[in-house]
């Protein structure tokens, strides 16, 4: 059986980019940051091109998916949509990182290598049809993230963050692996296509095993995403890590875990049926509410954004609870939006915290709105987008989730979501109030906007406003991905 | 005609704002003139619209084929104007021009940001009045919050941050539930995602069961009631009005509050006629409480600006009372009163702003006898006050008379209680005028006050002209709005006589259960 390399061409491109940077780091003098970033930029552009090429290839495939490597890897619109999200996250992070890494991390080449290996892991997760490849992808993604969290070596909090993240992550991986073992026990396979076929043939005991396995796997992912009540590590890690690394961690890895969850929930639904729905419902409500309420009292911008990211995971959990094509479409679109907007917000934070991250309190930003008009307006737009004000991408994302939820007969979940949006307005606006309406702090250090950071901000701004006013293309692609949720299984049944 | 006049009216201020963006921030006068000219051109367009508007036609006019805006979510870009929105569309640029002209000496810092905010607010408000797609309406409705929030929060008074945040949170609280209701209506337009739309014309044809109507009505009404504000949702209003800069108060009281009452007329009444009839007693009683309560609280205010703010609660109570009488006179009066309140209260805030600029206080106790030193100002103030009370010959009389007439026809008790509100209005307004303007001019600071200058007179003149025009020749305006009102009222009355029995309605099909993998087959 020959290999269809097209299936994994984006993964290969990302991995090669990572290794090229690693090797270049050996031969170049330390601190040749711009070269690494350029290699990274070229690599990510090639990857995006390959992703779109795969979209094109899919148009010729009637089943809407192609599968290979012993049914372990799939190329369908879901995996491709999520790969776009990862590429977007990595691209924006690259631009955010350049000057920061030069200044604070003394131009570390391995920083970029780790970024790309983590991205490779995410892509593997999104295109896995086998729980073992999922696990491998997860580890390949997580281990670079643990290192990234601790890269800011001079600071004790970074070391703490790295260790905490590692311990929690290892714990979560343990849960996931245990869940996979139970599932294997029930079905004799870890391949989701096989599992899907065998669901009708297992006995009650097997069903219990499958149900327990699903729950354990869910808990494992809940840790990784930072879903309440498994979110405790999130604020500490986000606060301790270097800002660009935080930006990276807050977007792509979550999307990757959700990509797997969307697939898994649709496969393992029969194991728990309504119970799984109830569990997801409670997790969604709890995550939104807990994240938002704790975000209100934060004074550190990074901690505030950490809790806000928990809350946003809660909104995606609504989409996961709804499930099905519509749930997947709204969740995937929301994650795309969230990646762009959140990294946009972090790019301004990178700018505002200044040298040595000395200004990380929200109150340090007093008067910045008038002092730095462009950055001020940009952060305002990102905050409003996170809060979900119309004409920004954040609004369309929420609107789509509410449509999916109401259409599936959920009433209270969207109402809780709406109440949470209102709570979130309070703290997002708090940042704007500080920037524009509080008297300027005389001791504030001056900040300088580097061209690369400007590019990151501009790209994120265009994304935020563009997806807010003309989201048709990306909403359409997400809908299409949702409609192809079952494509892999139809294909699988044709194969054997 | 092929020229998209409505689109121009809505977006012209944004072009003005973009032009201002390229002007050096220190050239204050250039910025002010650009903003004023943009608004005046907009006003001229609105007048052309008013003149060309066919009063006998009850359909949406000047609307064009809806443009697909977001295909995958069924959202269209469609604008239209009928008798219900026509006057408000003319009023908006009129008051905006006055508000901008009032800032010449009042706003001297960050002029650029102020004018950009102002023009964005103007676009937002016009969009709200002209949108005939629910999603589009919602976008304008919410987007407008942002510049208003900045206007209160940056250029406002001492408690500006509190007022600004309260304003945003209150408004968003209501509108988020409206959003859910919009999503529900959108989902009802078709079983398949490609057929669904948020276009108002399609949604108006939906058959909605009375039970569902009640929930949807409540969701919409909450958003609008907060904006109006209807008692007991009014608590944001005094804070926002008092802390906002003068121009902000003019816009808030003059146009922004009407977005709430307009919302009731445009969406709640025609979309949910059964629920409307069901809620008549509740809304009428809340409106009456607002009338009496607003008047009583206004009476004891020490600050002129908060007195005017509370008088708004009372006046908007009248608007709601007339609207929910569901008679032609009541609704016509209610629309006229929206315009009247915009003009008179806008003028009152303008005048209070003028005196504040001179004395830096608004406390009634700090004044007294200033009619002796500012005769022109006192005369103008008195005219506006009398219009606000509803003296025959001024605009206030026509509106209140029609409202009371319309209400009396269906419920005399409501009308009698409402009349007490008019008496109370006379008490608090005239008492305030007496304490501020008449008697001995005994304070030294007040003796040196300068009367209105040329610019201020020029701003006041159009307001006074409108007060008398609406008061003496209301026919100019009533002719344009009455047919649309008649159609609206008739539709509701028809449904009222012939309530739809629940069993006659085919239950809407709810196709989507939680899908499992099989559903991905297409």
Average pLDDT along chain B: 85
pLDDT digits (tens, 9 = 90+) for B383-415: 999 998 888 888 888 888 999 999 988 888 999
pTM for the full predicted model: 0.90
* 3-state per-residue secondary structure call for B279-290: HHHHHHHHHHHH
State which H helix or E strand residue B76 sits in: strand B75-77
Closest CA to B116 of B37, B15, B243: B15
Residue of A1 and A486 predicted with greater confidence: A486
Chain centre to alpha carbon of residue A192: 23
Non-local (6+) Cβ contacts of B73 within 8 A are: A396, A399, A400, A403, A471, A475, B135, B198
Closest CA to A309 of A427, A391, A149: A427
Q: Check A408 against B514: CB less than 8 A apart.
A: yes
Q: What is the pLDDT of residue B158?
A: 83
Q: Is residue B50 over pLDDT 60?
A: yes
Cβ distance B426 to B434 under 8 Å?
no
DSSP state of A440: P
Q: What is the pLDDT of residue A308?
A: 93
Q: Cite the DSSP H helix spans in A273-357.
A: 274-296, 301-322, 324-353
The shortest C-alpha distance from A390 to chain B (Å) reads 5
Q: What is the pLDDT of residue A287?
A: 93
- Express as a percent the part of chain B with pLDDT over 70: 94
Within a 13 Å sphere around the CA of B23, how many CA atoms are in the beta-carbon half? 22
Per-residue pLDDT, averaged over A136-141, amounts to 94
Q: What is the pLDDT of residue B522?
A: 39
Residue B154: its chain A contacts at CB < 8 A?
436-437
Q: Check B179 against A485: CB less than 8 A apart.
A: no
Of B165, B517, B519, the CB nearest to A433: B165
Q: Is residue B511 over pLDDT 70?
A: no
Kindly write down the DSSP assignment for every residue of A448-493, as one continuous string: ---HHHHHHHHHHHHHHHHHHH--HHHHHHHHHHHHTTTHHHHHHH
Cβ distance B156 to B163 under 8 Å?
yes
Residue A68 pairs with which residues in a beta bridge? A73
- Residue A129, both tokens: 């049809």
Cβ distance B17 to B120 under 8 Å?
yes
Q: Cite the DSSP H helix spans in B53-144.
A: 83-101, 111-130, 134-143
Per-residue pLDDT, averaged over B96-110, amounts to 85
Q: Is residue A305 over pLDDT 90?
A: yes
Q: Check A324 against B515: CB less than 8 A apart.
A: yes
Task: Give the range with max mean pLDDT: A17-21, B155-159, B233-237.
Answer: A17-21
Mapped onto helix, strand or coil, the DSSP state of residue B179 is helix
Of B164, B180, B510, the CB nearest to A415: B180
Q: Check B183 against A402: CB less than 8 A apart.
A: yes
Interface-testing mutation among B68, B161, B507, B516, with chain A (most A C-beta atoms within 10 A): B516
B193 — pLDDT class (breaks 50, 70, 90): confident
Query: Cα separation of A488 and A76, whole Å?
Result: 8
Q: Does A400 touch chain B (CB under 8 A)?
A: yes
Of B71, B183, B513, the CB nearest to A406: B183
Query: Cα separation of B300 and B132, whole Å?
Result: 42
Of A389, A422, A472, the CB nearest to B142: A389
Per-residue pLDDT, averaged over B313-329, amounts to 90
Closest CA to A422 of B173, B150, B146, B236: B173
Residue A370: its chain B contacts at CB < 8 A?
110
Q: Which single residue is written with the structure tokens 């959990």?
A: A317
Query: Cα separation of B183 and B344, whole Å?
Result: 37
Q: What is the pLDDT of residue B512?
A: 45
Per-residue pLDDT, averaged over B300-304, amounts to 88
Closest CA to B296 of B284, B313, B282: B313
B497 — pLDDT class (breaks 50, 70, 90): low
Categorise residue A211: left if φ over 0, alpha if ψ from -120 to 50, beta otherwise: alpha
E strand segments, B13-64? none
* CA B480, B485, B487, B488 torsion-angle sign: positive
Categorise residue A367: left if φ over 0, alpha if ψ from -120 to 50, beta otherwise: left
B503 — pLDDT class (breaks 50, 70, 90): very low
Cβ distance A158 to A152 under 8 Å?
yes
What's the Cα-to-Cα distance from B286 to each of A181, A369, B224, B279, rounded to whole Å? 63, 42, 14, 11
Query: Cα separation of B70 and A62, whole Å?
Result: 27
What's the Cα-to-Cα distance from B159 to each of A363, A366, A370, B165, B245, rounded to whole Å? 19, 17, 20, 10, 12
Q: Which single residue is written with the structure tokens 């009708």?
A: A200
Per-residue pLDDT, averaged over A306-314, amounts to 93
Q: Does A196 touch chain B (CB under 8 A)?
A: yes
Of A266, A422, A476, the CB nearest to B169: A422
pLDDT digits (tens, 9 = 90+) for B77-93: 888 888 888 899 999 99
Closest CA to B161 of A423, A366, A348, A378: A366
State which H helix or E strand residue B62 sits in: none
Q: Does A409 touch chain B (CB under 8 A)?
A: yes
Q: Is residue B375 over pLDDT 90?
A: no
Question: Strands B75-77 and A65-68: what pairing?
Answer: unpaired
B521 — pLDDT class (breaks 50, 70, 90): very low
Q: Which single residue is written with the structure tokens 């809620």?
A: B279
Q: Is residue A482 over pLDDT 50?
A: yes
Cβ distance A393 to A464 under 8 Å?
yes
Non-local (6+) Cβ contacts of B460 within 8 A are: B347, B350, B351, B380, B452
Q: What is the pLDDT of residue A107?
A: 63
Q: What is the pLDDT of residue B510?
A: 45
What's the Cα-to-Cα distance from A86 to each of A336, A470, B241, rounded to whole Å? 9, 21, 47
Chain centre to alpha carbon of residue B485: 18
Q: Read off φ and ψ for residue A218, nearest 5 degrees.
A: -60, -40
Q: What is the pLDDT of residue B182?
A: 92
Q: What is the pLDDT of residue A276?
A: 85
B194 — pLDDT class (breaks 50, 70, 90): confident
Cβ distance A263 to A492 under 8 Å?
no
- Residue A247, both tokens: 């930006």
Lowest mean pLDDT among A49-53, B26-30, B126-130, B402-406: B26-30
Query: Cα separation of B193 and B187, whole Å?
Result: 8
Peptide bond into B340 cis (omega under 30): no
Q: Is residue B438 over pLDDT 50?
A: yes
Closest CA to A351 of A324, A371, A326: A371
Taking the alpha carbons at both ends of chain B, their separation in whole angstroms is 44
| Length in residues, chain B | 522
Lowest mean pLDDT among A212-216, A343-347, B24-28, B413-417: B24-28
Q: Read off φ and ψ for residue A128, nearest 5 degrees.
A: -85, 140
The shortest C-alpha distance from A365 to chain B (Å) reads 16
Q: Check A390 against B183: CB less than 8 A apart.
A: no
Q: Check B514 against A323: CB less than 8 A apart.
A: yes
Cβ distance A306 to A234 under 8 Å?
yes
Of B168, B173, B179, the CB nearest to A429: B168
Q: Check B517 against A414: CB less than 8 A apart.
A: no
The shortest C-alpha distance from A372 to chain B (Å) reads 14
């Amino acid at each position: 059986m020959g290999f269809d390399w097209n299936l994994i061409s984006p993964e290969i491109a990302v991995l090669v980019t990572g290794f090229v940077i690693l090797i270049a780091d050996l031969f170049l003098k330390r601190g040749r940051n711009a070269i690494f970033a350029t290699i990274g930029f070229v690599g990510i552009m090639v990857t995006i091109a390959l992703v779109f090429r795969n979209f094109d290839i899919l148009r010729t495939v009637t089943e809407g998916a192609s599968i290979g490597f012993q049914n372990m890897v799939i190329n369908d619109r879901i995996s491709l949509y999520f790969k776009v999200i990862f590429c977007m996250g990595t691209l924006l992070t690259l631009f955010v990182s350049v000057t920061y890494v030069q200044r604070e991390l003394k131009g570390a080449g391995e920083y970029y290598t780790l970024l790309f290996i983590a991205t490779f892991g995410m892509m593997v997760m999104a295109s896995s049809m086998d729980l073992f490849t999922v696990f491998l992808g997860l580890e390949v993604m997580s281990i670079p993230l643990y290192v990234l969290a601790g890269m800011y070596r001079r600071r004790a909090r970074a070391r703490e963050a790295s260790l905490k993240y590692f311990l929690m992550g290892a714990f979560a991986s343990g849960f996931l692996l245990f869940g996979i073992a139970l599932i294997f026990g029930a079905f004799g396979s870890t391949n989701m296509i096989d599992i899907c076929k065998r669901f009708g043939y297992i006995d009650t005991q097997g069903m219990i095993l499958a149900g327990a396995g699903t729950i354990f796997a869910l808990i494992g992912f809940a840790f990784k995403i930072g879903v309440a009540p498994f979110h405790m590590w999130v604020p500490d890690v986000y606060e301790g890590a270097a800002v660009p690394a935080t930006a990276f961690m807050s977007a792509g890895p979550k999307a990757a875990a959700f990509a797997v969850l969307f697939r898994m929930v649709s496969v393992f639904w029969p194991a728990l049926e309504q119970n799984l729905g109830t569990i997801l419902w409670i997790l969604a409500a709890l995550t939104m509410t807990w994240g938002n309420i704790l975000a209100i009292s934060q004074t550190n911008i990074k901690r505030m954004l950490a809790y806000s990211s928990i809350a946003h995971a809660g909104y995606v959990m609504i989409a996961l609870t709804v499930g099905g094509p519509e749930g997947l479409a709204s969740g995937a679109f929301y994650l795309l939006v969230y990646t762009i907007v959140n990294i946009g917000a972090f790019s301004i934070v990178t700018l505002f915290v200044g040298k040595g991250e000395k200004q990380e309190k929200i109150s340090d930003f007093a008067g910045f709105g008038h002092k730095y008009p462009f950055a001020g307006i940009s952060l305002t737009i990102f905050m409003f987008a996170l809060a979900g004000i119309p004409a920004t991408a954040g609004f369309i994302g929420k609107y789509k989730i509410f449509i999916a939820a109401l259409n599936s007969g959920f009433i209270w979940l969207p109402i809780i979501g709406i109440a949470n949006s209102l709570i979130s307005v309070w703290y997002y606006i708090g940042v704007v109030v500080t920037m524009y309406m509080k008297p300027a702090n005389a001791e504030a250090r001056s900040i300088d906007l580097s061209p690369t950071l400007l590019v990151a901000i501009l790209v994120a701004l265009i994304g935020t406003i563009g997806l807010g006013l003309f989201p048709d293309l990306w909403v359409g692609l997400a809908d299409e991905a949702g409609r192809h949720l079952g494509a892999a299984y139809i294909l699988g049944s044709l194969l054997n | 005609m092929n020229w998209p006049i409505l689109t121009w009216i809505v977006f012209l201020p944004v072009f003005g704002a973009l032009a201002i963006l390229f002007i050096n921030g220190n050239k204050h006068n250039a910025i002010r003139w650009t903003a004023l000219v943009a608004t005046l051109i907009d006003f001229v367009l609105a007048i052309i619209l008013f003149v060309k508007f066919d009063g006998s036609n009850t359909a949406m006019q000047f609307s064009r084929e809806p443009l697909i805006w977001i295909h995958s979510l069924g959202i269209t870009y469609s604008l239209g104007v009928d008798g219900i929105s026509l006057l408000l569309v003319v009023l908006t640029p009129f008051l905006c021009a006055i508000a901008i002209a009032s800032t010449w000496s009042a706003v001297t810092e960050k002029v650029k940001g102020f004018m950009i905010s102002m023009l964005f607010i103007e676009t937002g408000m016009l969009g709200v009045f002209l949108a005939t797609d629910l999603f589009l309406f919602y976008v304008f409705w919410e987007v407008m919050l942002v510049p208003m929030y900045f206007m209160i929060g940056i250029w406002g008074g001492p408690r500006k941050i509190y007022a600004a945040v309260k304003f945003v949170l209150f408004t968003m609280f209501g509108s988020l539930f409206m959003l859910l209701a919009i999503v529900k209506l959108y989902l009802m337009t078709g079983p398949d995602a490609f057929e669904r739309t948020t276009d108002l014309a399609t949604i108006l044809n939906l058959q909605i069961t009375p039970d569902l109507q009640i929930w949807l009505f409540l969701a919409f009404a909450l958003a609008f009631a907060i904006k109006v504000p209807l008692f007991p949702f009014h608590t944001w209003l005094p804070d926002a009005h008092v802390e906002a800069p003068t121009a902000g108060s003019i816009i808030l009281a003059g146009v922004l509050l009407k977005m709430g009452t307009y919302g009731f007329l445009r969406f709640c009444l025609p979309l949910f006629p059964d629920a409307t009839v069901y809620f008549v007693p509740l809304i009428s009683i809340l409106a009456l409480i607002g009338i009496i309560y607003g008047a009583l609280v206004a009476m004891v205010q020490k600050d002129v600006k908060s007195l005017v703010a509370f008088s708004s609660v009372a006046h908007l109570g009248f608007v709601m009372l007339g609207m929910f009488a569901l008679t032609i006179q009541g609704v016509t009066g209610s629309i006229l009163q929206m315009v009247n309140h915009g003009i008179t209260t806008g003028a009152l805030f303008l005048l209070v702003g003028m005196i504040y600029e001179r004395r830096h206080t608004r406390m009634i106790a700090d004044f007294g006898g200033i009619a002796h030193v500012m005769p022109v100002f006192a005369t103008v103030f008195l005219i506006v006050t009398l219009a606000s009370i509803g003296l025959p010959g001024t605009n206030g009389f026509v509106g209140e008379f029609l409202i009371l007439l319309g209400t009396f026809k269906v419920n005399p008790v409501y009308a009698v209680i409402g009349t007490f509100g008019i008496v109370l209005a006379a008490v608090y307004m005239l008492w305030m005028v007496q304490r501020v303007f008449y008697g001995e001019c005994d304070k030294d600071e007040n003796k040196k006050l300068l009367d209105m200058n040329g610019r201020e007179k020029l701003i006041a003149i159009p307001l006074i002209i409108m007060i008398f025009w609406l008061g003496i020749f209301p026919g100019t305006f009533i002719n344009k709005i009455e047919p649309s009102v008649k159609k609206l009222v008739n539709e509701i009355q028809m449904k009222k006589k012939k309530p739809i029995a629940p069993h006659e309605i085919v239950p809407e099909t709810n196709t989507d259960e939680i899908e499992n993998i099989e559903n991905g087959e297409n």
